[in-house]
């Protein structure tokens, strides 16, 4: 059974290994730990303002992550949504549980809009976001404070 909990430091290395395995090994994205300094500073990078970082756990194993960055003006950026291949799909609903948690948090914090950027390679993620109420937008429609990553080529928005 999958449980969702807020990030805590003992899981740092598992989180980093989980994300890098999906980015590099599964999707062949040339990205390193050094390219993502936020992963070494989750507490200070994500857990400020209305931001947070959550883990999907199967026992004590990290099988999913999602984060929210407060970008001001009652807006936020969804980041680091990664689910292990064996925990994807309707059977586990890991992505759904992570997104439910993030959206409930955002609503409780008074956020109005959530934006996200993703790579064109994550086709299943595109379908997931669209199924869950996110609308595709152009990069020009992003708020100025949105942190665009170099691998981002497709963007989404949801109004709460």
CATH number at 56 reads: 3.40.630.30
Provide the pLDDT for residue 150.
86
Q: How many domains does the chain have?
A: 1
pLDDT confidence of residue 155? 98
The reported pTM is 0.95
Q: How much is the average pLDDT of 91-102?
A: 97
Q: What is the pLDDT of residue 35?
A: 92
Smallest CA-to-CA distance from 42 within 86, 73, 10 is with 10
Domain span including residue 114: 2-159
pLDDT tens digits, residue range 122-156? 899 999 999 999 999 999 999 999 999 888 999 99
């Amino acid at each position: 059974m999958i449980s969702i909990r807020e990030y805590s430091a003992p899981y740092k290395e598992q989180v980093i290994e989980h994300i890098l395995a999906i980015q590099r090994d599964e999707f062949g994205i040339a990205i390193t730990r050094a390219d993502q300094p936020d992963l070494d500073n989750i507490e200070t990078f994500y857990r400020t303002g209305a931001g947070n970082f959550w883990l999907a756990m199967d026992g004590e194993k990290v099988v999913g992550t999602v984060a929210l960055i407060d970008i001001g003006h009652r807006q936020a950026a969804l980041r680091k949504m990664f689910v292990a291949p064996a925990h994807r799909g309707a059977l586990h609903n890991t992505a759904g549980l992570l997104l439910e948690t993030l959206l409930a948090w955002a609503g409780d914090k008074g956020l109005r809009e959530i934006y996200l950027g993703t790579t064109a390679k994550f086709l299943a993620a595109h379908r997931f976001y669209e199924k869950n109420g996110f609308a595709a937008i152009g990069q020009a429609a992003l708020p100025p404070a949105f942190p665009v990553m170099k691998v981002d080529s497709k963007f989404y928005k949801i109004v709460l």
